[in-house]
Each structure stands twice: as C-alpha cells, then as structure tokens.
Amino acid sequence: MTRLPAWRFALAFLICMVTGVTVAALPAEVDGQPLPSLAPILEQVTPAVVNVHTRTRVQVRTSPFFDDPFFRRFFDMPAVPRERVQQSLGSGVIVDGGEGLILTNNHVIDGADDIAVTLQDGREYSAELVGADRDTDLAVIRIRADQLDELPLADSERLRVGDFVVAVGNPFGLGQTVTSGIVSALGRSGLRGLEYQNFIQTDASINPGNSGGALIDLAGRLIGINTAIFTPSGGNVGIGFAIPANTASHVMAQLVEFGEVRRGSLGIEVQDLSTELRDALDIDAAGGVVVTRVRSGSALAGAGLRAGDVIKSVDGRAIANSQALRNIEGLLSVGAQVVVTYLRDGRRGEVNVTIEEDLDARISGRRLDDRLDGVGLIRIPDRSRASGVLVEEVRRNSHAWDAGLRAGDVIVAVNRQAVRHLGEMRSQFPVPGDRELSLEIRRRGVAYLVLL
C-alpha cells in the first residue's frame, strides 16, 4: 500500500480545523488512511460544558425619590416597586463533578436573582452562588446533581503562541457550539473594568453567550475560561480572550474556601519606566517598574525598600510593567514567602518578604459584621481629598441592598462615630447583633442614614 504523504495529512487537518462546511463533504478516509478529527476529544469534553441561565428582577420606579432610603423612611413610603425581569444566557464548566462546582464568568451571574444550569443531556438544575470575584471576572456556582462529568484545570503556563485550541460554549443561546483556532497571543491586558488581566488571546470564535465556556487544547485539557471578545460590531472578528487556567484555579480555590478572594499585598505603588525615568535612574536593562510610594507597615517597607527603587522580578517572574506586577500581586496567597529583586543606584538587591493582607485597602463587609454580607469596602484613592470608606459593591437582595446601601456610597460614620479611612471603620466593629447598625453615607454630595 502506498503511504499517504505527510503534507496531505497536514492539509486535511487544517481543513478540519478551519471550515465545517468542507469537513462535512470529506470522506472518512483518504487512500485508506483516516482523517484526523476532534470528535473523540469533544465527546469527552462537551458533557462538562453547561449552559447558564439567569433571571434578574429589576425595580422600575415612577420617581427617582423612591431610590432614596431617607425619602422612603421619612414619608413612610412602602418599598414595593414595580418589577421587570431581565434574562441572560452564558456558559460554564464543571470542574468538580463530585461537589457540583461550576466555573463561569462573574458578569454572567452578577446581580442575578435566580441561576439555572442546563447540562448537555438536557437535565436542568437550580444553582447557588459559591463566590464571585469582579477583579478577574470569575465566579463559582454549585448544583446538586449526580453523575456529572468534569473537566479539571490544566497548567496554562505551558501554552505557546500558535498552539491549536477549541472553544466550547453557548453563543447567542443557540445551544452548545464548538469553534477552533490557535493561541494568538499570551499575557494580553487593556480590557476595561478588570483589575487583574493576563488573558489568552485566540482567534477561535467567541461570541455573546460563550462567556464562561471552556477553552481546551487538542488533548482535551481545560486551559482557559472564555470571557470576552474585542469587536466593533457585537460579533466575532477573530479576537477573543480567555482567563488562563492557572488564574482560574487560584481564584476558585479561594472562592470555595472563603466565598471571596483574599489577596496579599506588597504594599507599594509603582509606575512604568519611561525613557526619561530610565535615563534619570541610569537603567539600561529592559523591564521593571519604579516604586513611587512604600506604605508604612507593609511587607516591603519592613524589608527596607523605598521610593525610587526599581522592581525587576517577584518570585522569579520578570516584571515588564505595572500591570504585570499587579497580576502577580493579585495571585499571591496571604502568608506566602516571595523573593523580590530590585535595583538601587545601579546595584542589584534581593529581599525575602511574607505576603500580608492589606485590610486597610480592601475588605468584605461580612468580615466586619454579618449584616454587611455582600458589601465590598475599599480605601478611597490617595489622590482624592475625601475621607471615609468607599462602597465598591453591594450584592443585590442582600440585607445592605434592601436597606438602601449602593455601590459608590462613601461611609463617613458608623453608629455616629466618624471614620476617616478603612482602618478607623474596622475599629468600630464588632457591633452586638441586637444593636442597630447605622451608617452615615455621602451620595453625590448628599448625606443619608442607612440602618441595618
């Protein structure tokens, strides 16, 4: 038998990867040799990819005064607004079949009142939210079901530009769909609204509804969670982004354990090195960021670092710019020991530091008081002249939401005790559960009182 030339196998493989129409017309064999196919891998993978449906009840009020908790309380107005229901579709990946844990995007389930999951075999279940992280756009939900397939997370650090990948999801609500492509780039950033960005870029079609779905390699390993597309038209133009599996694994572990991500901090502020700064600091080597401020009491303050030092690497990972440092810092576990390499006056130095959680920068409300469950609190930026504590988020239908607290509010007093920053607010707790918790807030320059 004449052996089929290698170039014909390669050509057939590319045809399989690029065009489904042509694939349908190809024979199963060419000169007695079977054509390569993704079908065997997908038969193992697709049962672990699910459709996620959410319903959100949105309040519709006839007057903006109804949104004012003080106005409602003062005039004894009933808090029974009209409602309309918003529905959305997305995707998810079962990563732990025994526990029923599903990874998806935060924006798929954010603010949802009801979450439902439909499996590939048609079974449908209500899902509960385990935890969500806005900074990485990841969330974990759980269903109670038997005989669930799972797709464990692989090591995304081994990815290379040019590797073939396959995206599985639920675009436009059409049902489970598979697209293919390659890894176009690694370490992408620049998307709005996310604090930590280290995306896998792919030309595999990712359309609305694919969010939260799986990005796999040709061995069927989960290497990323599809999250976004770059498009001027609302549809795929060959630029899609996925959250690397290593990032997803770190975030998921904390969401399952704590219901939130507890991030460590180096306690510094930095900026990228411009040409002028490199000349002024006499730095020839590429990469690195210059320290502009070291917070008192932070890990690096104790290690002796100061403004003007240039951070070159953290835990052996080179720092190209401030976003790269932010990404690494966001994945450092509290209590971890890392080596920080820096330059000072042209000399190289190293320090070993233990990563600590900066509770005066960000904290979840439930760590202060159960009545603040679902509330995210952060430090007001140093450049602002305002004092108080900024409310970063308030989960819908939480006790604080029902009481009238909203994202963007600034808390200036707790139980009539003024708070200038998050550290002072933390000192006001715990508050006995049988005592009313009052928060004085500022909203668009107007003072309100929120009672919990």
So which residues are the catalytic ones?
Answer: 107, 137, 211
Interior/surface letters 421-432, b for 16+ CB within 10 angstroms, e for the rest: ebebbbebeebe
Q: Where does residue 154 rank: exposed (0-12), middle (13-18), buried (19+ CB within 10 A)? A: buried
- Nearest Cα to Cα of residue 91 among 196, 222, 184: 222
What whole-number distance in Å separates Cα of residue 35 and Cα of residue 47?
24
Distances (CA, A) of 136 to 108, 242, 367, 379, 390: 13, 11, 21, 19, 20
Structure tokens at 317: 């990972």
Distance of alpha carbon 412 from alpha carbon 354, whole angstroms = 32
Measured distance CA(102)–CA(96) in Å, rounded: 7
Q: How many CA atoms lie within 13 A of 109 on its CB side?
A: 29
Distance CA 64, CA 88 (A): 26
Pairing state between β 362-364 and 101-104: unpaired
Cβ-based neighbour number of residue 83 at 10 Å: 11
> Do 319 and 287 contact (CB within 8 A), yes or no?
yes
Is 72 exposed, middle or buried, given 0-12, 13-18 or 19+ CB atoms closer than 10 A?
Answer: middle
- Segments in 51-137 forming alpha helices (H): 69-74, 106-109
Q: Which residues, in sequence order, are bridge partners of residue 128?
A: 142
Distances (CA, A) of 74 to 70, 78, 449, 452: 6, 11, 11, 16
Closest to 214 measured CA to CA, from 245, 185, 253, 247 = 245
Pairing, β 264-265 against β 289-294:
unpaired
* Distance between CA atoms of residues 272 and 275, nearest Å: 10
